Structure 1
Amino acid sequence: MRPIVSPLLFATVFLCSSTGAYSQKKGKTDYASEIKVLAEKPIVKKAFQTIVDLDPQTLKQHIMLTQIPAPPFKEQERAAKFAALLKEAGADSVWIDNVGNVIAKRKGKSGKKTVVIEGHLDTVFPEGTDVTVVQKGDTLYAPGIIDDTRALAGIWTILTTLEKNGIETDADVLFCGVVGEEGLGDLRGVKNLLSEHGPGPISSYIAIDGWNISRVTHRGLGSKRYKVLFKGPGGHSFGAFGLANPHAALGRTIHYWDESADAFSRMPGERVTYNVGVIGGGTSVNAIPFESWMEVDMRSESPERLKGMDELLQAAARKALDEENKIKRSGADLTLKIELIGDRPSGMLDSSLPLIQRAKEAVKFLGTEPVLAGGSTNSNIPISLGIPAVTIGSGGKGANEHALNEWWINDKGYLAIQRALLLLLAESGIAK
């Protein structure tokens, strides 16, 4: 389901994003000073120390959650455990929504705004993958150890820290574990959060994904994914020779698309990519296949460039279908079905927005130089709707995301949690 946002809701979200949006235009808001003043409040300093003190327990939760499998579309077991952790941590209410998202609400004093902070529950790894965490020296190895289980552990720590220090925010805060971020999950979790089935208007959105503490993602790398399917009667390779061959049509499609897409991708403009990722069909070496299919991916931050690449695929498939049907000697025509199996909208937010400026200054305050970037994350959906959103890293050091030898080192991992807390408090406000 695609998100549905009414014009009234959009206006409400945008206007409530922060009063700093107006003063920024007038040049009156000094976000560096704002973050510094916030971070130096005694209660925030105490919270920072609590995060350091909780580091061993954060790591324990990190490992425990990693070892609960969460393959695509089967996040239920991890969701149940994460919901229980957030409830124990002190959220006012915790529930699992109609698509499987974990939502923990911590009420603010005024509740005039709602800020989301989330990590995604799912991994890319199929059911049956061994997700046991193996430690070698200071390094933890396991599928999903970074992407995105570390974020879930950090969210638990932030909620726990707020409770332990009695920090009351002005805005409502939703601590979430979101389904469907990876692959064919197609961001279904965040789409649901921001649809009519969600918890209501969202003022700003903070996603935690990846480990890089300096990266602030404020641009959505859009993608479209299709399954291209040719079907025919099929038959014996000798006895039925002359039938239209779905494999031949698929091969022509790949050739024509690669040829036109390569030229298009070299043209001036935003970067656009294309890929044939999976191919299938056929039953035997001596049988004309009755079907042939492929799954393809195209990506760009530019909606126009993405649309252009999409049109080239459609044209290539139709051309291949026509040619194969013209040269067949007998039997029925091939049929073609092009099914959209993934749609991540692209978009970009003005970097002067308060949330983005606060995210940058929070990175700087903790001693790292921020890098504004684009990416394909849960933030794509709020960004495409004009809702202030960023994706920030969960900290530590790691590599090999989406690989079986994914690894992570707890190299001052607490810093990223402190940064996320600082950003959250800047957005939600500390109640007076």
Structure 2
Amino acid sequence: MKKTILAVCLCIASTAVFAQKPKSQRVGLKKEFVEEITALGSKPQVKAALQTILDLEPETRKDHILLTEIPAPPFAEEVRGKQYGKMLSEIGVDSLWTDAVGNVIALRKGKSGKKKVVIDAHLDTVFPEGTDVKVRYAGDTLKAPGIGDDTRGLAIVLTVLKALNKNKIQTEADVYVIGTVGEEGLGDLRGVKQLYSKDGLKIDSHIAVDGGGVGRIVNGGVGSLRYKVTFKGPGGHSYGAFGLVNPHNALARAIHYFTVEADKFTKTGEKTTYNIGVIGGGTSVNAIPFESWMEVDMRSESPEKLKQINQLLQTAIKRGLAEENAIKRMGEDLTVDVKNVGDRPTGFLAETAPLVQRAAAVADFFGSVPMLGMSSTNANTPLSLGIPCVTIGGGGTGGNAHALDEWWYNDKGHLAIQNALLLLLAEAGFAK
């Protein structure tokens, strides 16, 4: 196999940039899974499907560009979702629908249907409405907001489906091909949370495609808590109403007390981070503001440490509120509204788990060094529920994720598509 059609696949794919770069761990491969993947990759239909992926490279590029140029800002993925559904339908699936939150779901029925396997990429980007998403070209490099994260993943999933259909490959399990909403930012994984809700699909295993190189396997979810904290007061003239409580003062105190304690707390133990990402409020230089607010992001690999740093934040907020109220000279007290705007659970799938071993064996099959790591992706939710899930990479080379000058270059990008196809077949079962 490795000496025929896939001779080119022995090169290691370059790694696209992740939004996070957590520590990685090399996988200890088990012989049984290496043998399983080698046997699967040697099947004539599978060889043909892998070749089809190479043949479809111009079409994959076309799909990639088309989808990138359809805006999919937070909470407004509908237009891109409709196009993605149309493309899935044209390729050929057994059924297609959009669920209550906007996930585009296609079902490709398996021979037995006793197992349900998902392969997904997310529809949304981090960029607000009105962002110019027209693809620009610098030689062979594609430049546009969202070109890598995660429009590349969407194009990969489409090509995997095309290769399966063209080569008439049937799986034992039912396969759900999904474009999910709400993976980024304040979307708070709402798409994948819906999939695993009481009204969801009853999924047995899940493969997400999102960033990174062929060897990069995310088997752990970095949990996060996000808050919008708003201090509120009566507001008034800076001179005439001097002595009223000032929300900005309370916010400043809260930020100071939190960051001082959080800095000490995060220096030891499992990686834990904090960030004051956005602040706002006030109307004029000569007006006491009636509100002052901030958006806070906290992340950790440890549920316990996430809980503890959250307590530091809550304590700092209360202290800032109390101290500002204590120095008022007239008027009403400040109040504070603490709104949770994001809660991504932590989770972990052991290195020895069959899905992790299969993902590692497939990456090894294509000449990459399989490396495990933690990140914040659609995998967080299933992992937190004990459902096997990994996030695999989109391949190629890319950079500046979440920036207006995001870019992606097709450096052996077909390897990531072949990687996704072979892993999906291994997990869903090749029907004889």
User: Fold match, TM over 0.5?
Assistant: yes
1:207 aligned residue: 208
Quick one: which of 124, 143, 146 aligns to 2:148? 146
2:389 aligned residue: 389
Quick one: which of 105, 110, 113 aligns to 1:111? 113
- Equivalent residue of 2:157, what SS? helix
1:51 aligned residue: 53
2:338 aligned residue: 338
- Equivalent residue of 1:390, what SS? strand
- Equivalent residue of 2:351, what SS? coil
User: What code does the residue aligned with 1:253 have?
Assistant: A
- Equivalent residue of 1:295, what SS? strand
Report the Cα offset of residue 29 of structure 1. Answer: 6.5
Work out whether 1:222 is the aligned partner of 2:223.
yes
- Equivalent residue of 1:52, what SS? helix
- Equivalent residue of 1:338, what SS? strand
Q: Distance in 2 between matches of 1:28 and 1:374?
A: 21
- CA RMSD between the two structures: 1.0
- Equivalent residue of 2:146, what SS? coil
Q: Distance in 1 between matches of 2:30 and 2:111?
A: 26
CA deviation profile, 1:107-159 (whole Å, cap 9, x unmatched): 00100000000000000111111111111111111111100011111111111
Quick one: which of 168, 173, 183 aligns to 1:181? 183
Q: Distance in 1 between matches of 2:341 and 2:158?
A: 33
1:21 aligned residue: none
1:167 aligned residue: 169
The change in CA–CA distance for 1:29 and 1:387 in structure 2 (over 3 A counts) is: farther
Q: Distance in 2 between matches of 1:212 and 1:43?
A: 25
CA deviation profile, 1:9-59 (whole Å, cap 9, x unmatched): xxxxxxxxxxxxxxxxxx997111111110011110011001111111011
- Equivalent residue of 1:130, what SS? coil
Q: Distance in 1 between matches of 2:306 and 2:141?
A: 39
Contact in 1 for aligned 2:236/2:288 (Cα 8 Å): yes
1:123 aligned residue: 125
1:348 aligned residue: 348
- Equivalent residue of 1:30, what SS? helix
- Equivalent residue of 1:140, what SS? strand
- Equivalent residue of 1:337, what SS? strand
Moved more, 129-138 or 169-178: 129-138
1:363 aligned residue: 363
1:10 aligned residue: none
CA deviation profile, 1:306-345 (whole Å, cap 9, x unmatched): 0000000000000111111111011000001110001101
Contact in 2 for aligned 1:232/1:290 (Cα 8 Å): yes
CA deviation profile, 1:183-210 (whole Å, cap 9, x unmatched): 0000000000111222x21111000001
Contact in 2 for aligned 1:220/1:301 (Cα 8 Å): yes
Mark the runs of 5 or more structure 2 residues left unpaired by the alignment.
Answer: 1-28
Q: Distance in 2 between matches of 1:395 and 1:75?
A: 24
Q: Distance in 2 between matches of 1:314 and 1:30?
A: 50
- Equivalent residue of 1:313, what SS? helix
CA deviation profile, 1:273-298 (whole Å, cap 9, x unmatched): 11111000001111111100000000
1:100 aligned residue: 102
Report the Cα offset of residue 269 of structure 1. Answer: 1.4
Contact in 1 for aligned 2:30/2:357 (Cα 8 Å): no
Contact in 1 for aligned 2:33/2:358 (Cα 8 Å): yes
1:8 aligned residue: none
Q: Distance in 1 between matches of 2:96 and 2:39?
A: 32
Matches within 5 A, 1:13-412: 30-198=32-200, 200-266=201-267, 268-412=268-412
Contact in 2 for aligned 1:122/1:181 (Cα 8 Å): yes
1:16 aligned residue: none
User: What code does the residue aligned with 1:344 have?
Assistant: R
Q: Distance in 2 between matches of 1:28 and 1:407?
A: 36
Moved more, 246-255 or 206-215: 206-215
User: What code does the residue aligned with 1:245 have?
Assistant: N
User: What code does the residue aligned with 1:90 have?
Assistant: G
- Equivalent residue of 1:196, what SS? coil
Aligned residues: 404
- Equivalent residue of 2:214, what SS? coil
User: What code does the residue aligned with 1:401 have?
Assistant: A
- Equivalent residue of 2:275, what SS? strand
Report the Cα offset of residue 407 of structure 1. Answer: 0.7
1:4 aligned residue: none
CA deviation profile, 1:341-375 (whole Å, cap 9, x unmatched): 01101121111100000001110100010110000
1:416 aligned residue: 416
Mark the runs of 5 or more structure 1 residues left unpaired by the alignment.
Answer: 1-26
Q: Distance in 1 between matches of 2:154 and 2:323?
A: 52
Report the Cα offset of residue 211 of structure 1. Answer: 3.5
Q: Distance in 1 between matches of 2:252 and 2:395?
A: 44
CA deviation profile, 1:225-279 (whole Å, cap 9, x unmatched): 001110011111111111111000000000100111111112x310111111100
- The structure whose RCO (Cα within 8 Å, separation 6+) is larger is 2
Q: Distance in 1 between matches of 2:40 and 2:231?
A: 60
Q: Distance in 2 between matches of 1:58 and 1:367?
A: 22
CA deviation profile, 1:86-115 (whole Å, cap 9, x unmatched): 111111011111100000000001000000
Contact in 2 for aligned 1:120/1:181 (Cα 8 Å): yes
- Equivalent residue of 2:343, what SS? strand
> How does the TM-score come out when normalised to structure 2?
0.92
Q: Distance in 1 between matches of 2:197 and 2:41?
A: 34
> How does the TM-score come out when normalised to structure 1?
0.92
Q: Distance in 2 between matches of 1:35 and 1:243?
A: 70
- Equivalent residue of 1:176, what SS? strand
Contact in 2 for aligned 1:146/1:211 (Cα 8 Å): no
